[in-house]
Amino acid sequence: MPQAPPEGVKVRLWDGPVRIVHWLLVALIGFSWWASEDHLDWHQWSGYGVVGLLLFRIYWGFAGSEAARFASFVRGPRATLAYLKTVSARTPSATAGHNPLGALSILALLGLLTVQVITGLFAVDVDAYQGGPLSHMVSFDQGRRLAELHDLSFHGLQALVVLHVAAIVFYLVWKRTNLIGPMITGFRWLPIDPGLARAPLWRLALGVALAGAAAWFISKGLRL
Amino acid sequence: MAVFMSKGAVLAVGMGIGVAIASGATVANSQPAPKAAASPGAKAANMRHENFEKLGEAFKTVIDETKKGEPNKAVVARAAQTMNTLATALPTWFPRGSGVEARAKSEAKANIWTDAAGFSAAAAASQLQVSKLNQAAISGDMNAVRAQIRATGGSCKACHDKYRLEKKS
């Protein structure tokens, strides 16, 4: 998908952690879906991975490099409406990072994924044989209801993923802006260098340690 | 423009309330409705549902308790006893005419009755595993109980895979 080299500068947009978390989520969510049928033990392990990635991504939304931060891309209704008016224009997008609409998509995806993992942590299988690591805190009946919600919220998640991919295809085909490449390489050509701040390595190490420890603790049913 | 916006806001709030009421109604509907003159088949189906809930709850108690460092043996024994009683009665929970025709939410597949021999065998297999679990619980050997949990769960699943409808959500 290389395009004619555009005018402008090559900008380091998405840091490594953002890209790794993104593609690991793609892999683990797909795997979890497949394993939900007959491999609930693998489904659980995969789910713990998603818990860790999700916790890290939320942390990184406050501590990460500039384009990863919620404060840099979550906008108010006015800015979102203003962007909405320009979205159909057949001009390449030049937003350095998530545009205001994409920001809503990110929040919805992270929000629903949070619902997904929380319901999964408490869910109980129909045979009562398998359950999430926190299912000992709920009754069988409650655990079954949460399993149904887990199922329902996954349908919502699927819809959001379809929307997300459709938006990227729209940008690629209609606006001739390739958003896939930057999520792989981290680099993007932009008209001007936005001068994005980068995050120091210690913050990455801290986040990995915190999210990993939290996911491990949750997988143990909050028991040491 | 300002008038239009406020109309839009009113509309949005109205729609929000509508959705909230609709979802509230859905939740209300999902509660077991009061049965007016339920047929014998529907009664059997409802009772079966309640019994499976009890069976699941008891099995979950055994599992949760034995995951603890020091399980309460009396709790495990009581739950296993409950399971044993229920599993022994299980084959009687499926009188003819108590399937989806009697209770729309029933997950009983028609082959329970068309393949009665196969169903009986699956139920008996599960009964055997539950009785072993009960014996282990009576002996008070928690490791034996833990070891028997997988076979018990497997026998539940074997029957469910074949004779239970996957509920569409």
| pLDDT for the residue numbered A108 | 96
| CA nearest to A214, candidates A142, A117, A123, A125 | A117
**φ/ψ (deg, to 5) at B33:** -75, 150
Burial of A119 (0-12, 13-18, 19+ CB in 10 A): buried
- What range does the domain containing A105 cover? 9-219
Average pLDDT estimate for B97-119 = 92
Q: At residue B37, does pLDDT exceed 70? A: no
Do A6 and A179 form a contact (C-beta atoms < 8 A)? Answer: no
- Distance in angstroms (rounded) separating the CA atoms of residues A94 and A37: 42
- Distance in angstroms (rounded) separating the CA atoms of residues A111 and A132: 20
- What range does the domain containing B151 cover? 39-163
Q: Answer yes or no: do A129 and B57 touch at CB < 8 A.
A: no
In a domain, B111, yes or no: yes
Tell me how many domains chain B contains: 1
Q: Whole-model pTM above 0.95?
A: no
Q: Answer yes or no: do A128 and B57 touch at CB < 8 A.
A: yes
Of the candidates A140, A151, A221, the beta carbon closest to that of B56 is on: A140
Q: Is B152 on the interface with A (CB under 8 A)?
A: yes
In a domain, B11, yes or no: no
In a domain, A3, yes or no: no
| pLDDT for the residue numbered B21 | 41
A128 CA: distance to closest CA in chain B (Å): 5
* Residue in B with minimal Cα distance to A150: B169
Of the pLDDT bands very low, low, confident and very high (cuts 50, 70, 90), residue B36 is low
- Distance in angstroms (rounded) separating the CA atoms of residues B26 and A11: 50
Amino acid at B111: N
* Residue in A with minimal Cα distance to B126: A127
Tens of each residue's pLDDT in chain A, 224 residues? 555 555 788 889 999 999 999 999 999 999 999 999 889 999 999 999 999 999 999 999 999 999 999 999 999 999 999 888 888 888 888 888 899 999 999 999 999 999 999 999 999 999 999 999 999 999 999 999 999 999 999 999 999 999 999 999 999 999 888 999 999 999 998 888 888 889 999 999 999 999 999 999 999 998 77
What's the gap between Cα A141 and its chain centre? 31
Detail the DSSP E strand segments found in chain A.
Answer: 9-12, 187-190
Q: Answer yes or no: do B56 and A144 touch at CB < 8 A.
A: yes
Do A183 and A14 form a contact (C-beta atoms < 8 A)? Answer: yes
Q: What is the largest CA-CA distance in chain A?
A: 61
Q: What is the CATH number of the domain that holds A23?
A: 1.20.950
Q: Answer yes or no: do A128 and B63 touch at CB < 8 A.
A: yes
The Cα-based distances of B167 to A43, A96, A123, B116 in angstroms read: 20, 45, 16, 22
In a domain, A1, yes or no: no
Q: Answer yes or no: do B60 and A148 touch at CB < 8 A.
A: no
Which residue is associated with the tokens 């569409």? B168
In a domain, B103, yes or no: yes
Numbered residues of chain A with Cβ closer than 8 Å to any chain B Cβ: 124, 126-131, 135-136, 139-141, 143-144, 148, 151-152, 155, 221
| pLDDT for the residue numbered B16 | 44
Question: Cα dihedral sign for B110, B115, B117, B121?
Answer: negative
Within 8 A of A129 by CB-CB distance, chain B residues are: 59, 63, 149-150, 152-154, 156-157
Q: Is B93 on the interface with A (CB under 8 A)?
A: no
Q: What is the CATH number of the domain that holds B53?
A: 1.20.120.10
| pLDDT for the residue numbered B30 | 47
Q: Is B35 on the interface with A (CB under 8 A)?
A: no
- Does the interface predicted TM-score (ipTM) exceed 0.85? no
Do A54 and A117 form a contact (C-beta atoms < 8 A)? Answer: yes
| CA nearest to A38, candidates B168, B164, B154 | B154
In a domain, A4, yes or no: no
Q: How many CB atoms lie within 10 A of CB A218?
A: 20
Q: Is B63 on the interface with A (CB under 8 A)?
A: yes
Task: Kindly report each contact of residues B130-136 with a partner whose C-beta sits within 8 Å and lies 24 or more positions away, as own/partner.
Answer: B130/B80, B130/B83, B130/B84, B130/B87, B130/B155, B131/B84, B131/B87, B133/B62, B133/B80, B133/B83, B133/B84, B134/B80, B134/B81, B134/B83, B134/B84, B136/B80
Tell me how many domains chain A contains: 1
| CA nearest to A20, candidates A217, A184, A188, A199 | A184
- Backbone angle region of B137, left / alpha / beta, with phi > 0 → left and psi within -120 to 50 → alpha: alpha
B133 CA: distance to closest CA in chain A (Å): 13
Q: How many helices (H) and strands (E) does chain B have?
A: 6, 0
Q: Answer yes or no: do B153 and A127 touch at CB < 8 A.
A: yes
In a domain, B24, yes or no: no
